[in-house]
Structure 1
Amino acid sequence: MIKKVAAALLAMMALWPAVSAASPVTVKLKGDGLKDFSAYEMDGSFYTAPVVLTKGNRWKVTWDSDKLYVLVTPKGMTSEERVEIPYTEINGGKYVDFSYFSEPAGLTYIYKDKKKELSVQKIKSGKVRKEKKENTMDLSRRPLVLWDVNFSYPMESGGFENLSGNHILSPSIGSYEDMEKGTCKWNFSYLKQAKDHGLSVMPLIHNDFEVKKTASFMRDQKRQDHVISTMTAVGEVYGLYGYNMDFENMDPKDRDLYTSFMGKLSRPLHENSMKLTADITVYNAGSPTWSLCYDREALSAYCDYEIIMGYDETPRTSKYAGSVSSYSWLDKNIPILTAMVPPEKLILGLPFYTRIYSGNPGYMTSKTLAMKDEDSLLRRTHAKPVWQPDARQYTLTWRERGILHRVYLEEEKSLSAKVQLLSRYNLAGLAFWRHGFETSDVYEKMEGKGEKKVAEG
Structure 2
Amino acid sequence: MSALSTTAVQAEVLVPVDQFLANTTRHYEANQYKTSYTVYVPQTELQGNAIVLNPAAVGEPVKLPTTSKNGITYVDIESDPAMLGVSYTKVNGQLTLGPAPQASTVKAPYTMQTPLSWAFDPWPTQGTPYQAKLNSSGDNIISPSWFKLHSLGLEASPNVSIDYVNDYKSKGYHVWPLITNRFDPGFTSGILADQSVWKKYAHNLVQYAYIYGFDGYNFDFENIDYADRDRLTAFVAYLSNHLHQYNIKTSIDVTGYSDSPEWSLVYNRSAFANSVDYVVLMAYDETWAKSTTAGPVASYPWVRNHTEKMLSEVPSQKLVLGVPFYMRLWHDTNGYAKGETLAMKNTGSYFANYKDKMTWDDRLKLYYLSIPTGSGSDRIWFEDNTSLGLKLDLVKELQLGGFAAWRKGFEDESTIAMIQGKDLGRGIPKSDTVDVPEPVVEETKPLTKLEQYKLRLEEKEKAKAAKAEAKRKAKEEKELAKRKAKEEAEQAKAEKKRQAEEAKAEKKRLSKSVQVVKR
Question: TM-score, with normalisation over the residues of structure 1?
Answer: 0.76
Query: Conserved in 2, the CA contact under 8 Å of 1:159 and 1:441?
Result: no
Check if 1:96 corresponds to 2:44: no
Counterpart in the other structure of 1:345: 318
Counterpart in the other structure of 2:502: none
Output the CA distance in 2 between the equivalents of 1:337 and 1:216: 29
Change (3 A) 1:103 1:411: farther
Counterpart in the other structure of 2:41: 71
| Matched position secondary structure for 2:244 | helix
Deviations 1:361-415 (A, max 9, x none): 7322221111111222333445532211221111112213362222111011111
Deviation at 1:291, TM superposition (A): 0.5
1:316-355 correspondence runs (5 A)? 316-355=289-328
Output the CA distance in 1 between the equivalents of 2:129 and 2:197: 39
Counterpart in the other structure of 1:262: 236
Query: Conserved in 1, the CA contact under 8 Å of 2:79 and 2:210?
Result: no
Deviation at 1:69, TM superposition (A): 2.5
Check if 1:223 corresponds to 2:197: yes
Give the partner amino acid of 2:39. Y
Counterpart in the other structure of 1:212: 186
Higher helix proportion, which one?
A: 2
Counterpart in the other structure of 2:269: 296
Counterpart in the other structure of 1:454: none
Output the CA distance in 1 between the equivalents of 2:10 and 2:284: 42
Give the partner amino acid of 2:379. R
Deviation at 1:44, TM superposition (A): 6.3
Check if 1:81 corresponds to 2:59: yes
Give the partner amino acid of 2:205. M
Output the CA distance in 1 between the equivalents of 2:284 and 2:261: 17
Deviation at 1:61, TM superposition (A): 3.6
Change (3 A) 1:358 1:436: same
Give the partner amino acid of 1:305. Y
Deviation at 1:39, TM superposition (A): 5.6
Query: Conserved in 2, the CA contact under 8 Å of 1:282 and 1:310?
Result: yes
Counterpart in the other structure of 1:6: none
| Matched position secondary structure for 1:359 | strand
Query: Conserved in 1, the CA contact under 8 Å of 2:253 and 2:281?
Result: yes
Counterpart in the other structure of 1:172: 145
Give the partner amino acid of 1:390. R
Deviation at 1:131, TM superposition (A): 4.1
Deviations 1:98-133 (A, max 9, x none): 445559879999989xx545699999x999764442
1:13-412 correspondence runs (5 A)? 36-38=3-5, 40-42=7-9, 45-48=12-15, 60-64=25-29, 67=37, 69=39, 71-76=41-46, 79-82=57-60, 83-87=62-66, 95-99=74-78, 101=80, 116=93, 130-136=108-114, 142-152=115-125, 157-158=130-131, 160-162=133-135, 164-177=137-150, 180=153, 182=155, 184-188=157-161, 189-284=163-258, 286-360=259-333, 362-401=335-374, 403-412=376-385
Output the CA distance in 2 between the equivalents of 1:90 and 1:316: 43
Output the CA distance in 2 between the equivalents of 1:338 and 1:205: 25
Output the CA distance in 2 between the equivalents of 1:68 and 1:252: 37
Query: Conserved in 2, the CA contact under 8 Å of 1:162 and 1:444?
Result: no
Output the CA distance in 2 between the equivalents of 1:93 and 1:398: 55
Query: Conserved in 2, the CA contact under 8 Å of 1:53 and 1:101?
Result: no
Deviation at 1:287, TM superposition (A): 1.4
Change (3 A) 1:411 1:111: farther
| Matched position secondary structure for 1:414 | helix
Query: Conserved in 1, the CA contact under 8 Å of 2:66 and 2:75?
Result: yes
Counterpart in the other structure of 1:28: none
Deviation at 1:327, TM superposition (A): 1.2
Q: Could you list the runs of 5+ residues in structure 2 that have no partner in the other structure?
A: 423-519
Change (3 A) 1:441 1:382: closer
Give the partner amino acid of 2:7. Y
Query: Conserved in 2, the CA contact under 8 Å of 1:110 and 1:118?
Result: yes
Change (3 A) 1:88 1:428: closer
Deviates more, 1:40-49 or 1:352-361: 40-49
- Report which of the two structures shows the higher radius of gyration computed on alpha carbons: 2
Change (3 A) 1:161 1:180: same
Among 394, 415, 423, the residue aligned to 2:396 = 423
Q: Could you list the runs of 5+ residues in structure 1 that have no partner in the other structure?
A: 1-32, 137-141, 450-457
Q: State the aligned residue count.
A: 403
Query: Conserved in 2, the CA contact under 8 Å of 1:104 and 1:238?
Result: no
Deviates more, 1:316-325 or 1:262-271: 316-325
Output the CA distance in 2 between the equivalents of 1:212 and 1:90: 44
Output the CA distance in 2 between the equivalents of 1:163 and 1:395: 32
Counterpart in the other structure of 1:26: none
Change (3 A) 1:400 1:93: closer
Query: Conserved in 1, the CA contact under 8 Å of 2:294 and 2:379?
Result: yes
Give the partner amino acid of 2:415. V
Give the partner amino acid of 2:181. N
Change (3 A) 1:132 1:220: closer
Give the partner amino acid of 2:232. Y
Deviates more, 1:211-220 or 1:188-197: 188-197
Give the partner amino acid of 1:247. F
Question: TM-score, with normalisation over the residues of structure 2?
Answer: 0.68
| Matched position secondary structure for 1:258 | helix
Output the CA distance in 1 between the equivalents of 2:205 and 2:399: 31
Deviations 1:241-291 (A, max 9, x none): 22211111111121110011111111221111211111101122x211110
